[in-house]
A and B are shown apart, each in its own frame.
Chain A
């Protein structure tokens, strides 16, 4: 009996469909690439610098925290890199280095790691990082001010601030095709609508994000914007403008469907997405901030645990 062969013994099931967290993260990064590359072409080396620093510092913070908390090194799963690239995409190309590093610290350490790492964060880490920076140093997020030295061959006015200050008369210069093709100022990876839509559709058909959230988010934006537009078309822009400006598309496909901070059951997903979409337009139209995506999604993150209690009755459940 001593020279018996040793076998691997484990519990059923003995099959796995082969999906991994790493593949998931890297596919999300791939989906983000069209929009990021467009940002690089538009804004040149400063944009490359911001995004690269954002990715590398996010990974570095995670590694550092892994070491400090004496946990297994988790940077290999690609989640920190994904947080980094997403965070870089939301920043203007002229962001100073310390802003990027502070932001990724907040995102990775305060947004994710102190809750126990991947899967434990109640809020989207990227948005936590961004929201804290936006509140702390709001001048660096005034796109009109920070991108003033750029001339990319189109009106370098941040569309949403034009809308906020001038009403619909201020946005006559923007047409839908130009907005879709990224002819607008904004975050490095947040302006190229077509690229974000392609990335989003890629993620949806590969099953890496929950399409219900994206679709209901966009539906919430469209319906609310349409209602405002019908009531007062001189002050409030139409739904298409809201869809293609600011952080709407990146929010719908990359920020709102973040795994840990969003619901997983059907009805909660629809409420969550629609709620974030509605809040976005409400903040943009009647709130104090120019863009509402960041706070709208964070707010819905907050109600996510409550929403996810709405769930189908399990098999054979009495009561």
Chain B
């Protein structure tokens, strides 16, 4: 954990991690006996008209596309061969509903050949139907084909990682040069978008240069690699508060996802291994490669990490990740890191009020009056917070929370406010 320096006249500068120059091969985690895949669709047994396609004891092959309902767009790609042992609803952060599909792994692996036949000729539909559950987790808007508004005219490939301590994307950029070049070519072909920009840190310029995309340098100081910051500093476009980058016609996709797309069409099978950093209790990081769906406890036991009660397990980095409550939680396509913190020295929040020290104002990259904002958020005055105190300008980097003397859960308040306002506007729209 980065501590406040003794002399802290200026705001702290927090640097992103650079990948290990020796580029060690990622440690491969053996296939576990059971994997769980999280499908982004609510599991409703009743009230759904469409037929349920999956049931317990169905056998699945490696690389098989699994959809829950007939006619539904959401799917997962099975990363193993085996039989489905359970299908259950799963509730994620901020009310996100998933369906957890647990698969008991069979001894012999059998590949599904459905994609291979199609991969000879890449098209948008194939990508949309088979490649949204690949390592790196390409956003849905990448494969939207211009059919939905807003239309995308620029693709930014992140050759950097969005959070501290993570090197997964940079690792992909160095080690999968060929796949990324292929992926960029395919993206150009299927989307028809010529404007593909690779955002990479200065020390990876050479690797980024061979990708065939335009190259832009990204600063290595947190939070320069968050999408909104890249929009402003690299593309020179400021995203208006309340709008998304997609609204501006820019789609962000990770280097790893591009590499996965390249690999998929090159080799005719969908990549199933997710690369990520395991950040241990002492802060050391190991590059891991594991099948999507592997429960995190398998990774801890493979790397000799002891997990105790009251530790904190985090998917993602220290600033923007999300903590999980079970060590059976699976690795997902967008899991760039698994972090574990010792329960003895956790940074916890307090219920202390804001003392108006101004540290958050100094550090906020979006220049939000955090001291005022948090007072309104604490009181539940979300509308006023959004109107007068720039709630929607927040890039959710978590720095205000990191430096808060009172240890207020500022980022939590901000996300909760955005979520609640979102719920209100959805309710208004449906009732109108």
Q: Footprint of B on A, CB under 8 Å? A: 4-21, 24, 77, 116-120, 204-207, 210-211, 259-260, 262, 264-265, 308, 311-318
Q: State whether B7 touches A205 (Cβ < 8 A).
A: yes
Verify if B412 is at the interface (C-beta below 8 Å from A): yes
Q: State whether A19 touches B327 (Cβ < 8 A).
A: no
Binding stretch for chain A, among B25-33, B113-121, B396-404: B396-404
Verify if B324 is at the interface (C-beta below 8 Å from A): yes
Q: State whether B405 touches A315 (Cβ < 8 A).
A: no
Q: State whether A315 touches B353 (Cβ < 8 A).
A: no
Which A residues are CB-close (under 8 A) to B311? 7-8
B393 to A, closest residue via Cβ: A314
Additional pairs, 16, CB under 8 Å, beyond known A17-B4, A316-B241, A317-B240: A8-B343, A11-B322, A12-B319, A12-B321, A13-B318, A13-B401, A14-B319, A17-B2, A20-B407, A21-B352, A119-B354, A205-B8, A206-B8, A314-B241, A314-B393, A317-B393
B231 to A, closest residue via Cβ: A316
CA distance A19 to B239 in the complex (A): 33
Q: State whether A314 touches B367 (Cβ < 8 A).
A: yes
Which B residues are CB-close (under 8 A) to A119? 353-356, 406
Most buried by A among B310, B361, B401: B361
Ordered by A's residue number, 10 sampled pairs between the chains whose C-beta atoms are within 8 Å are: A7-B324, A8-B311, A9-B325, A12-B320, A12-B321, A14-B323, A16-B347, A116-B353, A118-B355, A260-B355
B369 to A, closest residue via Cβ: A311
Q: State whether B241 touches A210 (Cβ < 8 A).
A: no
Which B residues are CB-close (under 8 A) to A120? 353
Known contacts A7-B311, A119-B356, A315 near B232 by CB under 8 Å? yes
Verify if B426 is at the interface (C-beta below 8 Å from A): no
Q: State whether B358 touches A210 (Cβ < 8 A).
A: yes
Known contacts A10-B323, A119-B356, A313-B367, A21 near B312 by CB under 8 Å? no
| Interchain CB contact (< 8 A) of B407 among A16, A260, A262, A265 | A16
Known contacts A206-B7, A314-B367, A315-B232, A10 near B348 by CB under 8 Å? yes
CA distance A311 to B362 in the complex (A): 12
A72 to B, closest residue via Cβ: B351
In the complex, the number of residue pairs spanning A and B with C-beta atoms less than 8 Å apart equals 189
Known contacts A7-B325, A9-B312, A18-B4, A318 near B357 by CB under 8 Å? no
Q: State whether A8 touches B9 (Cβ < 8 A).
A: no
Known contacts A14-B339, A259-B356, A265 near B361 by CB under 8 Å? yes
Which B residues are CB-close (under 8 A) to A206? 6-8
Which A residues are CB-close (under 8 A) to B349? 10-11
| B interface residue count range (under 10 / 10 to 19 / 20 to 34 / 35 or more) | 35 or more
Which B residues are CB-close (under 8 A) to A316? 228, 238-241, 243, 366, 392-393
Which B residues are CB-close (under 8 A) to A207? 4, 7-9, 359
| Interchain CB contact (< 8 A) of A13 among B369, B371, B411 | B411
Verify if B1 is at the interface (C-beta below 8 Å from A): yes
| Interchain CB contact (< 8 A) of B405 among A14, A20, A262 | A20
Verify if B103 is at the interface (C-beta below 8 Å from A): no
Which A residues are CB-close (under 8 A) to B402? 13, 15-17
CA distance A206 to B10 in the complex (A): 10
| Interchain CB contact (< 8 A) of A8 among B307, B323, B355, B406 | B323
Q: State whether B353 touches A11 (Cβ < 8 A).
A: no
Per-residue contact bits, chain B 240-264, to A (CB 8 Å; 1 contact, 0 not)? 1101000000000000000000000
Q: State whether B406 touches A17 (Cβ < 8 A).
A: no
Q: How far is the CB of B252 from chain A (nearest CB, A)?
A: 16
Which B residues are CB-close (under 8 A) to A311? 367, 369
B241 to A, closest residue via Cβ: A316
CA distance A210 to B360 in the complex (A): 13
Verify if B19 is at the interface (C-beta below 8 Å from A): no
Which A residues are CB-close (under 8 A) to B406? 21, 119
B403 to A, closest residue via Cβ: A17
Q: How far is the CB of B36 from chain A (nearest CB, A)?
A: 13
Q: State whether A7 touches B312 (Cβ < 8 A).
A: yes
Q: State whether A318 touches B318 (Cβ < 8 A).
A: no
Q: How far is the CB of A3 from chain B (nearest CB, A)?
A: 11
Which A residues are CB-close (under 8 A) to B316? 12
CA distance A119 to B357 in the complex (A): 9
CA distance A77 to B357 in the complex (A): 14
Which B residues are CB-close (under 8 A) to A317? 240-241, 390, 393
Q: State whether A13 touches B228 (Cβ < 8 A).
A: no
Per-residue contact bits, chain B 287-321, to A (CB 8 Å; 1 contact, 0 not)? 00000000000000000000111111110101111
Q: How far is the CB of A67 from chain B (nearest CB, A)?
A: 19
CA distance A14 to B318 in the complex (A): 5
Q: State whether A14 touches B312 (Cβ < 8 A).
A: yes
Which B residues are CB-close (under 8 A) to A13? 318-320, 398-399, 401-402, 411
CA distance A118 to B355 in the complex (A): 6
Which B residues are CB-close (under 8 A) to A7? 309-313, 323-327
Verify if B91 is at the interface (C-beta below 8 Å from A): no
